[in-house]
Homo-oligomer: A and B are copies of this chain.
Amino acid sequence: MVDVGDKATTAREAVARGTIRMSRDAIAQIRSGRVKKGDPLQAARLAGIMAAKQTSALIPLCHPLPLSSVQVELLPTSTGYTIEATARTTAQTGVEMEALTAVAVAALTVYDMVKAVDKRMVIGDIMLMKKTGGKSGTFER
């Protein structure tokens, strides 16, 4: 989703990150556009954004809140991809769960689309990188 409204009214932001490690063959298939089910990176990006919007339906005690923006990026690494999600809201609750959920579901989507080639992929290092605007002040890893 693109940003709505101006930044001044965006009270809170969270950035989460994670990785998916895979075989050379799987990396090659993605980068050469040969994955049979379609482009895993595009699908992962959209699935991550859509999942962020469902966070409060997935996580039992997580508050529903109106997200003003979610961004998901997949960056190539030597062993696969780093996934980074940024969530923003003007609401009075933190959005770290939305960012973390976006990362996890984006990673699961890559897994789903590439699993015909590599079942040994590992999703890992899902963590909060940064959180700003909350009552408890700025968190930075």
Contact = CB atoms under 8 A, between A and B. Distances in A.
A59 B112 contact: yes
Contacts of A39: 42
Interface residues of A, number: 62
Interface string A71-82: 000000000000
Copies in the complex: 6
Contacts of A131: 119
Contacts of A111: 97, 100
A119 B128 contact: yes
Interface in A18-54: 18, 36-39, 42-43, 45-47, 49-51, 53-54
Interface string A100-126: 110011011101110100011111111
B109 A59 contact: yes
Contacts of A119: 96, 128, 131, 139
Given A37-B61, A42-B39, A58-B54, A141 B126 contact: no
Interface of A: 1-2, 4-5, 9, 18, 36-39, 42-43, 45-47, 49-51, 53-54, 56-68, 91-93, 96-97, 100-101, 104-105, 107-109, 111-113, 115, 119-128, 131, 139, 141
- 6 shortest interchain CB distances as A-B pairs: A124-B124, A123-B126, A104-B104, A5-B92, A122-B127, A46-B60
